[in-house]
Structure 1
Amino acid sequence: MAPSNASLSPRSKHYEFLGPPGALFIILAVPTTAYSLYFGCSETSGGCLPPLDTLWPRIQTSVQDKQWWLTLFDLEATYYYLAWYAFCVAAWLILPGDWVEGTLMRNGQRKQYKINAFSTLLLTLGLLSGWIYRFGPQSFTFIHDKWIGFVTATFLMSVFQALYVYLMSFQGDRLLALGGNSGNIIYDFFIGRELNPSIGWFDIKTFNELRPGLILWLLIDISMACEQAVRRGGMITDSMILVLLFQGLYVADGLYNEPDILTQMDITTDGFGYMLSIGDLCWVPTVYSLQARYLVFNQVELGPAWTAAIVAANFLGYYIFRTANAEKQDIRSGRNPKNLQTMPTERGTKLLISGWWGVSRHPNYLGDLLMALAWSLPTGFNTPVTYFYVMYFTVLLIHRQRRDDAACSLKYGKDWDKYCKIVPYRIFPYIY
């Protein structure tokens, strides 16, 4: 007789993120940071950053004013966002797509995932292109105009979904994440209690991972470009073009290679809770689009030389990111067109020790960070704020690398120690 999901979901004994205090800090810090990046770096803030001698008095005045708190919510922006989320769900349902099996779970089952995120992107861009062509760029500046309302709408949706999946995780015999069943309400709500919360065939985690937030990120960039175009009489700067090109390519690549996420830690190991909910739905679209929003009111012209250098940096990062992931997927699928060297393990699987994976244990992270830098360089060097994404992403990927390495150490044992001697560098060759 197959074991019940309850027997496969023991009480978690290990905390991450410094446990409940760390989880509570992140729960509060993420939305605070998203709002701060607007109020501390916007056209009306007095600079980016505003003068420090005026910043704290303005914060005190604002938080003590009840009317100021009400300005964070915009009913029209909320309706727009709900309509967008409903559109993404409808596209998932209606558009054709292959059904792909995920990895083998602890209960011996494999989930089926519908793959049509790239089709959703194409449909969205097709409809938007027709709209802008018909009504002009000024018709799509409303995301820029109602920015803080959109931030609040994404935050409220994140909290709602995190609460919903947390409460539903106590209903029936559900497969819980090994790290999300500590018994502490704050920590489990944050880290995610249920591994794969679903409504029928609709898997909430994988849907949110790519569709609503990632595509919205690109739509926000386009709205900011439309606002800049209106201000400049129809033309946008070369810096804005680069941000649109780089981030648009990244979004399209992620959606086109949708099956790749099915082997990532977010999907195979982590539960779906506040951490992933607010990350996917709020943080990605509102924080990652900072460069495009900045370029609306600080219109940087790069010139040919700087443009060429930044393009080279971005595509070097993209080349490393994409070819490294392709090498990994080839080995996992039983192919080896590059004749890469592998190391056998006692588990019967193989570890890559040549190609990009012989240079560092996480070469895809190296490519990611090079791209992140290239996205910020078009904003120039007048403020460090637009480089927030690079700094944050470096911390995030180092933390994720440590989680990956810890999981692999448990999985492979002595074989992992041997592998680490062969490939000593974690992300940055000869540095880290």
Structure 2
Amino acid sequence: MSSSSPSTTSKSAVALNPRTKGYEFLGPPGALAVTLGVPFLTYGLFFACSERGGCPPPTPVILNNLSSAVSDLNWWIGLWDTEAAVAYLGWYTFCVLAWFILPGDWVEGVQLRTGGNKSYKINAFATLLLALGLALGQILRLGPASFTFIYEHWVGLVTASVIMSVVQAGACYAASFREGALLALGGNSGNHIYDFFIGRELNPSIGPFDVKSFNELRPGLILWVLIDISMACKQAVRRGGGLSGVTDSMWLVLFFQGWYVVDGLYNEPAILTTMDITTDGFGFMLAIGDLNWVPFVYSLQARYLVFTPIELGPIATGGIVLVNAIGYYIFRAANGEKNDFRNGKNPKNLKFFTTESGSKLLTSGWWGRSRHPNYFGDILMALAWSLPTGFNTPITYFYFVYFAVLLVHRQMRDDENCEKKYGKDWEKYKELVPYRIIPYVY
């Protein structure tokens, strides 16, 4: 594994890769807790919300099942599913081959500390179209029952994604010790547990193939859409076999989440300016998030609606659509303003604040209302994705609560980095834009 970014040998390795002085996630203990906790929680959300046990099962049942399961070797063995593992490996291989085979433009990312720029192949949207074409072709030809594999092999697919995450994070961590690797500023602490989790190398690559951006947009995000489609197919089979058996609530979840992925992949170059790509290394944190957490936790609402079908009716449906539309508008409008401004364009003549370093920060438009208005749009959409499940259980709102906490944490990380970068100018900027995410609220 090598980095296709300019070699660090042209500058002092110590200067380019300084030792990380501070920790996030409460340091190594927190990193270890998250490393173990994310897979545990992914499994836990399945067993706490399933048609066999309920959503959630009664508390005494949960405690009894947990105690008997973890002490039973057969239960642990049951987490493995060879058929699911082969299917997941085949899916990942499909995504890799699509990256190589499908055409795509090469776009430069932001300037690296080496002074150069890394190039990224842009064909995630084409990969999505190919995957959807193959999936829908199978459904139209063989019927919805032919696409229920994911629902029926859920636990095995989760296990396969966890293993893939561990293998990739381990390989990238080991490769980061080679000479010339450009490290992430936050992942070179010297503590193995922490650096494995947070990501030590900034851009682990195999030739032109960038591991981080590939995982960020392809295997997990596209699988998320395929999972939702599989859930709709399973519901259709149970309600008579045809697509007419799919409830309006399921259609909403499928459309909202599918559109979110379509929009993200269609606008693939926008990810090149995000913190994940520009700042974070690729470690277990991103690997487990991209490959396991996103597809198997974010699709919880669709899985719930398989065994708890809900008909909303036109009024409730219209209200939920409105919430999602407002969130999407804010998300897309804010990101559009930011991307235009970063590319040297300012069609709306937005005001901006120039720091002593020469950087320019928007202070009007959506970015004048809050420092992270796109997160506000994200939070509204997350709420809309949960509302179709009704109010019979809090578990289907886990994504909404988790995502809000995640975005607040990300906002705090971003503000901390900006404070280090801009110094006293950041304090001036905060006076001009006082709200963090939600205007007039937070």
- The bucket for the TM-score relative to the shorter chain is over 0.9
Matched, 1:241 2:251: yes
> For 2:34, which of 7, 21, 26 is the aligned residue?
26
For residues 52-71 of structure 1, the aligned pairs below 5 Å read 52-71=59-78
The residue that corresponds to 1:39 in the other structure is: 47
Q: Which moved more, 1:53-62 or 1:219-228?
A: 53-62
> For residues 144 and 5 of structure 1, what CA distance do their matches in structure 2 show?
49
Give, as a single letter, the amino acid of the residue that structure 2 aligns with 1:294.
Answer: Y
Alignment-derived partner of residue 199 in structure 1: 206
- Cα shift at 1:413: 1.6
- Pairing 1:285–2:279 present: no
SS in 2 for 1:429: coil
Query: Cα distance, 1:430 vs. partner?
Result: 1.5
Residue deviations 1:180-216, cap 9 Å, x none? Answer: 1111110000000101000000000000000000000
Note the 1:148-297 alignment, pairs <5 A.
148-233=155-240, 234=242, 235-297=245-307
Partner of 1:301: 311
Could you say what secondary structure the match of 1:48 adopts?
coil
What is the rounded CA distance, in whole Å, between the counterparts of 2:75 and 2:135 in structure 1?
33
Matched, 1:360 2:367: no
Amino acid at match of 2:48: G
1:87 lines up with 2:94 in the alignment: yes
Amino acid at match of 2:43: Y
Unaligned 5+ runs, structure 1: none
Letter in 2 for 1:348: G
In the alignment, which residue of structure 2 is the partner of 1:110? 117
SS of the residue corresponding to residue 183 of structure 1 reads coil
Is the CA contact 1:62–1:68 (under 8 Å) kept in the aligned structure 2? yes
CA distance in 2, matches of 1:53, 1:127: 44
Aligned equivalents of 1:22 and 1:405: distance in 2? 21
SS at match of 1:111: strand
Provide the secondary structure at the position in 1 that maps to 2:338: helix
Q: Distance in 1 between matches of 2:62 and 2:360?
A: 55
Moved more, 328-337 or 303-312: 328-337
Cα distance between partner residues in 2 of 1:241 and 1:116:
27
Once the two structures are overlaid, the 10-residue window that deviates more, 344-353 or 117-126, is: 344-353
Q: 1:144 aligns with which of 138, 146, 151?
A: 151
TM-superposed CA distance for 1:2, in Å, is: 3.1
The farther-off stretch of 296-305 and 4-13 is 4-13
TM-score scaled by structure 2? 0.96
Distance 2:305 2:99 in 1: 33
- 1:77 and 2:87 aligned: no
1:386 corresponds to 2:393: no
- The whole-number CA distance in structure 2 between the counterparts of 1:5 and 1:263 is 25
Which sits farther off after the overlay, 342-351 or 250-259? 342-351
| Alignment-mate amino acid for residue 225 of structure 1 | A
Per-residue deviation, residues 140-167 of structure 1 (Å, max 9, x unmatched): 0000000000010101100010110011
How far apart in 2 are the matches of 1:190 and 1:299? 38
Give the superposition deviation at 1:6.
Answer: 4.8
Whether the 8 Å CA contact 1:11–1:181 is kept in 2: the answer is yes
Tell me, what secondary structure is at the counterpart of 2:16? coil
- Please report how far the alpha carbon of residue 7 of structure 1 lies from its aligned counterpart in structure 2 after TM superposition: 3.6
Partner Cα separation in structure 2 for residue 151 and residue 27 of structure 1:
15
Number of positions where the alignment pairs a residue of Structure 1 with one of Structure 2? 431
Deviation digits for residues 312-368 of structure 1, max 9, x if unmatched? 000100000000000001111111111111112212221111111111100000000
The one-letter amino acid paired with 1:318 is Y
Amino acid at match of 1:116: N
Separation of aligned partners in 2, 1:4 and 1:204: 25
User: In 2, Cα distance between the equivalents of 1:119 and 1:416?
Assistant: 40
For 1:222, give the aligned amino acid. Answer: I
Aligned-partner Cα distance in 2 for 1:38–1:215: 20
Distance across 2 between alignment mates of 1:16 and 1:277: 17
Q: Which ranges of structure 2 fall in alignment gaps of 5 or more residues? A: 1-8
Does residue 403 in structure 1 map to residue 413 in structure 2? yes
State whether residues 4 and 173 of structure 1, in contact with CA within 8 Å, keep that contact through their aligned partners in structure 2: no
2:335 is the counterpart of 1:325:
yes
| SS across alignment from 1:93 | helix
Tell me which of 8, 17, 41 is aligned to 1:9.
17
Shift of 1:23: 0.3
* Residue type of the alignment partner of 1:328: K
RMSD: 0.9
8 Å Cα contact 1:140-1:223 kept in structure 2: yes
1:311 is aligned with what amino acid?
A: V
> How far apart, CA to CA, are the structure 2 residues paired with 1:326 and 1:381?
34
Task: Determine the C-alpha separation between the residues in 2 that align with 1:179 and 1:361.
Answer: 23
Between the aligned residues of both structures, percent identity stands at: 67
More displaced, 341-350 or 284-293? 341-350
1:133 alignment partner in structure 2 = 140
